[in-house]
Chains A and B, each alone.
Chain A
Amino acid sequence: MTTKLMGEAVQRVEDDRLVRGGGQYVDDIDLDALHIAVLRSPHAHARIISIDVDPVLDIEGVHAVWTYDDLEGAMAEPLPLLIPHPTLTHGRTQYALARDEVNYVGEAIAMVVADDRYLAEDAVAQIAVEYELLPAVVGVEAARAAENLVHDDVPGNIAARSEQSNGDAEAAIKAAPHTLSLDLDIERSACMPMEGRGVTARWDTANGRLQVWTSTQTSTGVRAAVAAKLGLDLLQVDVITPDVGGGFGVKINHPWPEELLVSLAAQRLGRPVKFTEDRREHFISSAHERAQLHHVDVGFDDEGRLLGLDVRFWHDHGAYTPYGLIVPINASTQLVGPYKTGPYRVTFDSLYTNTVIVTPYRGAGRPQGCFVMERTMDAIAAYLGKDRADVREVNLIQPDEFPYDHGLVFQDGRETIYDSGDFPTMLQKIKALVGWDDFESYRAEMAAQGRRVGIGLAAYVEGTGAGPYEGAHVNIESSGKVKVATGLTSQGQGHQTAFAQIVADELGVPFEDVEITTGDTRRMAYAVGTFASRAAVMSGSAIHLAAKKAKEKALRIASDALEADPEDLQIVDGVVSVKGSPGTSINLGTVAVLSNPLRYAFDEASKAATQFSVGDATKPPVAEGDEPGLEGKDFYSPTRSTFASGMHAVIVETDPDTAEITILKYAVVHDCGTVINPMIVEGQIHGGVAQGIGGALYEKMAYDESGQLLNASFMDFLMPYVTEVPDAIDVDHLETPSPLNPLGIKGAGEAGVIPGSAAIAAAIEDAEGLPITAMPISPSELFELRAQHAVAATTPEEN
């Protein structure tokens, strides 16, 4: 009997290739292409008076130099606003090349196509642009003050003002025995995948077809966008996503100007053309996220039970809104976490600033929401003098309360209804894992050595597996090998492994015989993309369904060949046999041959198939309603998202002298429903925790007042090294299968990053005894906080 692979820690099949440098990324695709370089705005806000490209025209090896004036038709229109929303009343997007105004340092103004990137960069440096400088709006405070406007026609810099509530929060807070107000601040960071953006395109003049390779999280999205902008039919465009060196959200936004410009250049010049983004470009022209200011009013009872919650926040959206309001909507709806909040009202303003655009970055608004909710929980506990875990416990949604409807509309336009979970058990598990109840003795022991430690806890619920759909195509070859295609893309998640586990289990074939292709529109034209922790839920389910269809067909054909009832058949290790009669069998490959009533015997498999006679000579060889081939194709489209959850706890040490912050222990309890592969899930958690630590202690975009990004390199934008991440991250799983999909899966991709800032802020606050209301925090900032706190403590209160 084949061992079930679902739930097994199968070693990732992609790693050998990727770790040894055998990956094939966009930049590795060698078509002898021309290269583009882009002239980017050096100013955060300016009107373009004139552009002089004359100095570039005669440079040997330069093939084209284009500005906005060289764009035509749809290419001359603004880039699409991908996800409109009724409250996004003032959505704005940029042009592929700036028309008359630039709104952030890094905005594309002109492009050069040259023999190589060196030459293209030389040429870009020769383009002369005359600017009229305009005042730059940098940061949420400046955007709110609206003394200057980013877009002349957007009053108050407000792209969107949105409010949701599930009751009268104001009245509930007013009536509550205790109330608190908090102001909380999260700064800007960014995804920073190892591979930046990249795109290569080839135009086939003879056939009028465009092939595009791009480092994206959605090949179908890019395909549709390129076709629309270039005025091509979808069937004229193939988009292929090779290995992608990380996405974390930034590559779901599309089309990037360069995806269009490279495609256009390939078509116009009749030569392959490529763009490989460099790191500085990534900092100043790809997307950022996270910056929000929040104000919380909360009412609660003597036990810390929430009676009403009113949150207002201001979201820094950057210069444009191509990806709509996904981030602030996530923040506003996911903020509630595993808690019953009482009447909840949330209002946000999405504000324009003259900085890089904001689109989802792993977590996508949830880290901010989690920070707000969890800081509020800690503040309540401090106010009441209660244990922070106890305050959380009294607020948890109970296992018998699922499905739990928060009465809020989620980012997918569907209701925020939690499908399953067990939060009280999770809380017990995280407390046990981190040693919550024994911490005071540990603290005393450390204090005796002159060391200062603190502990923190944070919980989250994450809507994962957003629709609308994904599909899969399963094709069993006459070799017995199973070729599976799903349309969403891979950025190193381990799809080849996890999806093969699903197929091997469903079809009863050896794991090694399953090959997964992702992100190739030639193989699967209908797909959405890899984001919102949705690949396992969406494509995993679709693959399961498609494999099921292929299996049904295989059994039907095999039952004819073996003259047995399909229900008496089983497939084990790629062989269909009659249960209890193993001698009566047929290989799946042979079934595949039989499925295609072609007369020609090409190979051994065909010859082997001739011993079986299938079908009735009086009927057509391909029966009505049937198709040749041993294939299964299906789509999965759920009614709403599935909600994963987790809790993190962390112990930090702060140096009393130098204010250095060190993580001593990091513990995670995670519930993503049925686990396909625990090794992959743990890998996702480890990576997420590392990014969470980055967001909590290291990463921020340091813009100056004029909108220049001061740390646009890996020397000054500090992502944690392995030396900054704890050696061990303790992980415990909890599995409450989702009732929404056939496998019970929930998403796991983003989870690890969500509670990082919340948990670490809590631990630092616990160690230091002073409130931590803004993250990230550096040793220098902690030092300054200590100084302010010391001054405040010695200054008599003015009453």
Chain B
Amino acid sequence: MKPTAFDYARPETLEEAVQALGSHPDAKVLAGGQSLVPLMSMRLAAPALIVDINHLPGLDHVTADASGVRIGALARHADVLASADVRRVQPLVSLALANVAHPTIRNRGTTVGSIVHADAAAEMPMVLQLLGGSVDVVGSGGRRTITADELYVAPLESSLAHDEVAVEAFFPALPAGSGVAFEEISRRHGDYAMCGVAAVVAVEDGRVTSARAGYLSVSDVPTVVDLTDALGGSVDEAALARAAEAALAQLEPETDIHATAAYRAHLAKVLTARVLTAAHDHAREE
């Protein structure tokens, strides 16, 4: 449980960080270290160079305005979760974050780090995808914005170039007349979920005009399904059942030591109905 030897760089500027990353094909960014460090200790990852970005200035911001929520690369989950502005502007971010591991991990782990780690069992990549958010990255080619759709290319793989550092995540604000909900089922409090579902539902004149749901741990990349048509404007029992079936058609739950594929599929159905109902209720409160 000791990592192999690695070089360590602690740049003071973004340019130095990008340079350091570019200097070695096997370099890795260290932010909160909540995924990387255990992987290194178990020798499942053995990067030759660690680029510790914790001393880069100006990356620990958490801001929210009418357009949405912006989270800097060094903002810890706990900082984001504590922000009343975030909760007001995009409540789904807060709802999901409360399910990210435990307080001690949230105190260290960064939201942006979790997003670019691209784990389909993690909450924040899915939420970014569901809300149509984006990530700003800086590399040798300058700064660019990657939308969530373009971000997740394969299991545990993002579209960041090797020398790019993610500097900020953006979650759009919740539009008026829309509601959100999140629920996950895990073996223990704070564990990776066996299944988790988030939903965004828009309601106009009592009718559902848009409904999308995002799924955790039932596919190998963060997956979002549009359920607007399946609901057909309503959230009654029949509509919810149709939506759950429609969602399931897009998912590929697998069996592991904690849950069978059939159980995960069942949870996806149950939770789809629950979060659509809750998001619908939320939309009507808004």
Q: Tell me the A residues contacting B by CB distance below 8 Å.
A: 117-118, 121-122, 278-281, 657-660, 698, 702, 710-711, 713, 715-716, 718, 720-721, 723-724, 778-780, 783-784, 787
Contacts and interface: CB of A to CB of B under 8 A. Distances in A.
Contacts of B43: 121
B270 A657 contact: yes
Interface stretch (B90-98, B140-148, B257-265): B257-265
A778 B2 contact: no
B263 A720 contact: no
A723 B189 contact: yes
B13 interface: no
Nearest to B194: A780
B190 interface: yes
B275 interface: no
Interface in B1-35: 1-5
Contact of B42 (A117, A713, A780, A787): A713
Interface string B253-286: 0000111101100110010000000000000000
Contacts of A710: 257
B135 to A, nearest CB: 26
A71 B123 CA distance: 52
B187 A718 contact: yes
A698 B188 contact: yes
A711 B257 CA distance: 8
Nearest to B2: A118
A780 B188 contact: no
B188 A117 contact: no
A658 B267 contact: yes
Given A279-B1, A710-B257, A711-B257, A660 B185 contact: yes
A297 B48 CA distance: 62
Contact of B262 (A122, A779, A784): A784
Contacts of A698: 187-188
Nearest to B3: A118
A279 B42 CA distance: 10
29 contacts: A118-B5, A121-B2, A121-B43, A122-B4, A278-B2, A279-B1, A280-B1, A657-B270, A658-B185, A659-B263, A660-B185, A713-B42, A716-B257, A721-B190, A723-B189, A778-B187, A778-B259, A779-B185, A779-B194, A779-B259, A780-B258, A780-B259, A780-B260, A780-B263, A783-B260, A783-B262, A783-B263, A784-B260, A787-B262
**Residue of B1, B42, B259, B270 with most chain A CB atoms under a 10 A cut-off:** B1
A720 B257 contact: no
B266 A122 contact: no
Contacts of B42: 280, 713
Contacts of A713: 42
B275 to A, nearest CB: 13
Interface of B: 1-5, 42-43, 102, 185, 187-192, 194, 257-260, 262-263, 266-267, 270
B270 A658 contact: yes
Given A710-B257, A784-B262, A720 B188 contact: yes
Contact of B188 (A658, A724, A784, A787): A724
Nearest to B269: A657
**Residue of A279, A710, A716 with most chain B CB atoms under a 10 A cut-off:** A716
Nearest to B261: A780
A713 B262 CA distance: 25
Contacts of B259: 778-780
A41 to B, nearest CB: 17
B1 A779 contact: no
A164 B276 CA distance: 60
B248 to A, nearest CB: 15
Contacts of B187: 698, 718, 778-779
B108 to A, nearest CB: 16
Given A118-B2, A778-B259, A779-B194, 8 more contacts: A117-B2, A118-B3, A121-B43, A280-B42, A658-B267, A660-B185, A698-B187, A718-B191
B267 to A, nearest CB: 6
A787 B102 CA distance: 33
A635 B253 CA distance: 62
Contacts of B1: 278-281
A139 to B, nearest CB: 14
A118 B263 CA distance: 42
Nearest to B255: A780
Contacts of A716: 257-258
B78 to A, nearest CB: 18
Nearest to A657: B270
Pick the 7 closest A-B CB pairs, nearest first: A278-B1, A723-B189, A780-B259, A780-B263, A702-B257, A118-B2, A783-B263
**Residue of B43, B102, B258 with most chain A CB atoms under a 10 A cut-off:** B258
Contacts of A711: 257
Contacts of B266: 783
A281 B43 CA distance: 14
Contacts of A118: 2-5
A784 B261 CA distance: 11
**Residue of B190, B257, B267 with most chain A CB atoms under a 10 A cut-off:** B257
Nearest to B273: A657
Contacts of A787: 262
Contacts of A783: 260, 262-263, 266
Nearest to A787: B262
